[in-house]
Structure 1
């Protein structure tokens, strides 16, 4: 597994991380045994970066991570969590020092640690980025020793650009994949400024595995059913905001580009890693086989210039009209 520098923190992490949303909730039922097996498999295959959040399964994801890490020996991986989405209603005025400290205290308990590696503001309202007092509160938590660093998870490129104006921001997490190519330039800018970039939704909620069809069905507790139009949270988090059938047509065009020694999912992950500004990409996994396959994407050779050009043209013609202007 190849490693990349985590911004200006002095740490390095695996370029393929483990996204722990699916083992928490909102992706259908995942047995705890499968969740643990997936995480063990990722770690066994060289993954050293785990991304979670306090709201994934109301803390289930964090607690499973803690249990798995307590079962293992050797160096501890870098664990990033998030805070803010426990607010109800989720409004900018809720991002107070008191609330953020309470969320962090809960994550410390869930993860069985005395100091969190990284806490990311969890897709806060845009107004939060214009409230310096929020970032001051995070700075104070670093000084107090509760957290080693903090970052932001953003919905929009513009939010990322504002976030990296704050010197304490160590990382930005953003959606970037074959179907969401707009962030490419921002990723380079963040990288040049010493800010780590964590890429989420790399497979467009599974569309870029090539396994979905028009007949695919989803469980009632799977966001791919209940959030297609943004009913529960930003619709860009589900299928990267691309209308399902349009995305399926695009996937059919991508199939011919995938080399024989790779799956479409691995090909899609390798496309992301072609951007040197990306620090780590965090695909999810519901079982050990998926986790191992994700990890192996790090070993693929670079994509050809011709394949990249075809994917760019496909994006501009068929996908960009639905997503480019929104995020």
Structure 2
């Protein structure tokens, strides 16, 4: 496992870390025992950073991580998110009363005295232009409720605005073989400010595993069945906003470029780690075998330039027209 510095926190976190959305829900059926086994396998492989949110399974994901923390002697860092419990999810809801209540609930779920890292959970665009919201987070740090804070964003423009706030330690943003735009400007600006980057949706909702087909079926509660056009939340969260059929064709082109000795999943994850600005990628895993495949990618050698060039070519041909200008 590789370790990289997260922002200005002083933490060294695993370059491949654990995204806990899938073990909470909206990714099809979840078995708690298997989820727990996947978490422990990640620990065994050197993972020390886990990302969750209060809405993943309405707290299930947080509670599983709280239990994991009690079961290990290893130092682990847990990042969670707040904001998406708002109904409706509007700018005005990002106020002191609500944010404080969300933090208290997450502290209880995680069985912690202070949250390691709290992230605003893809708030509406106007929130990034409200210094008072970030002032509330500063006060929560001063009160000892959170150690550090960051943001999870949908768009590059939001990320660029967020890092203007001096205490933002991290930005979580979709970055993968199907989403290249963050590397154009945002990475450079984040590095200048020593802001950590968490690459989320690293496998494009599973498309980049190469295990999906045109006739693949998804459970009714799986967002890959009900959010392809953004019916429930931002379209970019599902398959990175790429049309499913187009994505399958692009995956076949990527399969031809995949270096010998690694799976397509590992190729996709190792590709992300080629960008030094990225602190960590956070693939999910519902079973130990998935954790094994995902996290072993950190031990693979750097990708050769022809493979990197092939990824760029596939993106330019199949994906750029679909997503580049949107997010």
Say yes or no: TM over 0.5.
yes
- Determine helix, strand or coil for the equivalent of 1:172: strand
Shift of 1:292: 1.4
Give aligned pairs, total.
Answer: 326
Aligned to 1:239: 239
Q: How does 1:223-234 map to 2 (within 5 A)?
A: 223-234=223-234
Measure, in 2, the Cα distance between the counterparts of 1:43 and 1:179: 28
CA contact (8 A) 1:188 1:276 kept: no
Aligned to 2:107: 108
Q: How does 1:22-171 map to 2 (within 5 A)?
A: 22-72=22-72, 74-171=73-170
Measure, in 2, the Cα distance between the counterparts of 1:229 and 1:219: 17
Measure, in 1, the Cα distance between the counterparts of 2:153 and 2:268: 21
CA contact (8 A) 1:23 1:285 kept: yes
Moved over 2 A (4+): none
Shift of 1:238: 0.2
CA contact (8 A) 2:203 2:265 kept: yes
Any unmatched runs of 5+ in structure 2? none
Q: How does 1:181-220 map to 2 (within 5 A)?
A: 181-185=180-184, 186-220=186-220
Measure, in 1, the Cα distance between the counterparts of 2:292 and 2:213: 24
Aligned to 1:288: 288
Measure, in 1, the Cα distance between the counterparts of 2:317 and 2:74: 46
Any unmatched runs of 5+ in structure 1? none
Shift of 1:260: 2.5
- Determine helix, strand or coil for the equivalent of 1:33: helix
Q: Normalising by the residue count of structure 2, what TM-score does the alignment of the two structures yield?
A: 0.99
Measure, in 2, the Cα distance between the counterparts of 1:98 and 1:30: 33
Measure, in 2, the Cα distance between the counterparts of 1:68 and 1:308: 37
Measure, in 2, the Cα distance between the counterparts of 1:89 and 1:187: 32
Encode CA deviations 1:125-146: one digit per residue, 9 max, x unaligned. 0000001100000000001100
Measure, in 1, the Cα distance between the counterparts of 2:189 and 2:208: 26
Shift of 1:75: 2.6
- Determine helix, strand or coil for the equivalent of 2:150: strand
Q: How does 1:242-281 map to 2 (within 5 A)?
A: 242-281=242-281
CA contact (8 A) 2:82 2:119 kept: yes
Measure, in 2, the Cα distance between the counterparts of 1:78 and 1:34: 21
